[in-house]
Amino acid sequence: MSFLSQLFRAPEQKRSRTAALVALSGPGRPVWTARDPKRFVAEALSCNPVAARAVQRVSQAVAEIPFQVTKDSADASAHPAVVLIDQPNETQDRVRLVEGLTAHLLLTGNAYVEAVVVDGRVAELHGLRPDRMRLIPGEGGRPAAFDYEVDGRAVRFVQEGPVPPILQLSLPHPFDDHFGLAPLAAAASAIDIHNAATRWTKALLDNAARPSGALVYSGEGTLSDEQFERLKGELDEGFSGARNAGRPMLLEGGLDWKALSLSPRDMDFMEAKHGAAREIALAFGVPPLVLGIPGDATYANYQEANRAFCRDTALPLARRIMAALIGWLAPGEGLLAIADEDQIGALHAERESLWRRVGAAGFLADSEKRVAVGYPAEKPER
C-alpha cells in the first residue's frame, strides 16, 4: 500500500477484537437461558415463603426509590424520556414497571423492556417476560434481534434504529456472554433444603406428629396374611393422620411398637431450617433480620439492618435500572439519574447527619452545598 493510500484511507472503526468470537453459536442461531425459568421460579416462589418475601421486599424497595434527573447540573424532569419512564403506558407507572423488572432480574438474571414507536417516537414502554424471549446473536456478539414467543407464535424485534426496540437488562455473569446470573440460582440449594424441611413437617403432622416406627411381633410363629392385612387396615384407619393425633394404640399379645426415626431435636431440625432461610435471604441481598428470620446477630437492630439493605441492595439495583432506561431512551444526551435519598425513610438518620455537616461548611457556596447533598446546582423553575 502506497503512502498516499495510507494517508487518505477511511478512518478505522474501533471495535473489540474479541467481539466476533462472543457469538459462539454463530450469527442467526437462537440462544436460550440455561434452565426452564417457569418451573424453577414456581418451585421457589409457590412453595417457599422466604424466597417469595425476599423477592417482593427487594422489588418494592427498588421501585419506590425516587429519582431526580439532571442535565448539566440542571433539572431535566420535563425531558420526554423522563416523562415516558414516569408513565410508561396506560396501565402502569414507573413504580409498577420497575417492580416487575426487578423481580425478573432476581428470578432469571434478565429483564426486557419493549419500546412502542408511534409516528417516529417512543410512545410506550412494556415489560416482557424473560421465559418467552430468545436472543439472536449478531456478527459482533451483540444481540442482532430478539424473538418473543407466545403459544407457538413469535414476533421478531430487530435491534436497529436510534432506540432499539428491546432493552435487555442483565445481572453480571462471569461465564455467559448473553444472559445474567440470577440470585435465585445461588439460593437454589437452600430453597430445596427449606422446602424439604417444610414437607417433612407436613408429613409428620399428617402422621399424628409421631416419627415412623415398626410393630414387632414377638409371639410364636408369624402373622398370617389375614392377620397382617387386618392389622395394617386398623393402623391406617384408626391411628394415621392429624385427626387421630394422641389416640392410644391397643396392641394385642406379642406386638410391640419400636420407633425408628430420630427426633427433630436429634436432627437439629429447626436450626437447619433457619439456616437455610438465612442463606435464601442473603442470596437476594436481604439481611435476615429484615425478614424476621431468627438467629442473625449481624446488626444491632432492625433499623441498622434496613439501612444496610437499602444502601447495599436496593439503591445499586435501582441505579442500574434507571441508568439503563435513560441511556436507552436518550443516548448521548447527558442525562443523569440521581436517587433522591432524602425521600427514603431508611436513610433519614444518615442524611440528617450529612445535611448538618454540609450546612455548617461556611466555605461552600449554596450551589456547591446543593450538589454535595445530591441536588442540582440550581433550583428548578416552578
Element (H, E) at 185: helix 183-186
Q: How confident is the model at residue 155, as a pLDDT?
A: 93
pLDDT 10s digits, 245-258: 444 454 555 566 66
Element (H, E) at 329: helix 315-329
- Which among 313, 330, 322 has a CA at the least distance from the CA of 80? 330
Confidence of residue 45 (pLDDT cuts 50, 70, 90): confident
**pTM of the entire predicted model:** 0.75
Question: Partners of 153 in the beta sheet?
Answer: 150
What nine digits make up the cell of 139?
456478527
Specify the range with the lowest mean pLDDT, choosing from 15-19, 55-59, 361-365: 15-19
Give the pairing type, strands 153-158 and 166-170: unpaired
- Residue 76 burial (CB < 10 Å; 0-12/13-18/19+)? buried
What nine digits make up the cell of 311?
444502601
Confidence of residue 127 (pLDDT cuts 50, 70, 90): very high
Using the predicted structure, report yes or no on whether residue 147 has a pLDDT greater than 50: yes
Report the share of the chain in percent with pLDDT over 90.
36
Distance of alpha carbon 30 from alpha carbon 83, whole angstroms: 34
Using the predicted structure, report yes or no on whether residue 164 has a pLDDT greater than 60: yes
Q: How confident is the model at residue 222, as a pLDDT?
A: 64
pLDDT 10s digits, 280-304: 999 999 998 888 887 666 666 888 8
Using the predicted structure, report yes or no on whether residue 72 has a pLDDT greater than 80: yes
- Which among 134, 124, 196, 199 has a CA at the least distance from the CA of 165? 124
Distance of alpha carbon 194 from alpha carbon 192, whole angstroms: 6
Confidence of residue 15 (pLDDT cuts 50, 70, 90): low
Q: What residues have CB less than 8 Å from 327, skipping those under 6 apart?
A: none
Mean pLDDT calculated for residue range 248-276: 63
Mean pLDDT calculated for residue range 190-214: 73
pLDDT 10s digits, 301-355: 888 888 889 999 999 999 999 999 999 999 999 999 988 888 887 776 777 777 6
Using the predicted structure, report yes or no on whether residue 89 has a pLDDT greater than 60: yes
pLDDT 10s digits, 313-324: 999 999 999 999
More confident position, 64 or 373: 64
Mean pLDDT calculated for residue range 141-148: 89
Confidence of residue 24 (pLDDT cuts 50, 70, 90): very low
What nine digits make up the cell of 91?
396501565
What is the residue-wise DSSP string for 12-68?
PPP--TTHHHH-TT-TT--B--SS-HHHHHIIIIIT-HHHHHHHHHHHHHHHT--EE
Using the predicted structure, report yes or no on whether residue 26 has a pLDDT greater than 60: no
Dihedral of the alpha carbons of 44, 45, 51, 53, in degrees to the nearest 10: 180
Q: What residues have CB less than 8 Å from 94, skipping those under 6 apart?
A: 63, 85, 86, 87, 88
Distance of alpha carbon 309 from alpha carbon 294, whole angstroms: 17
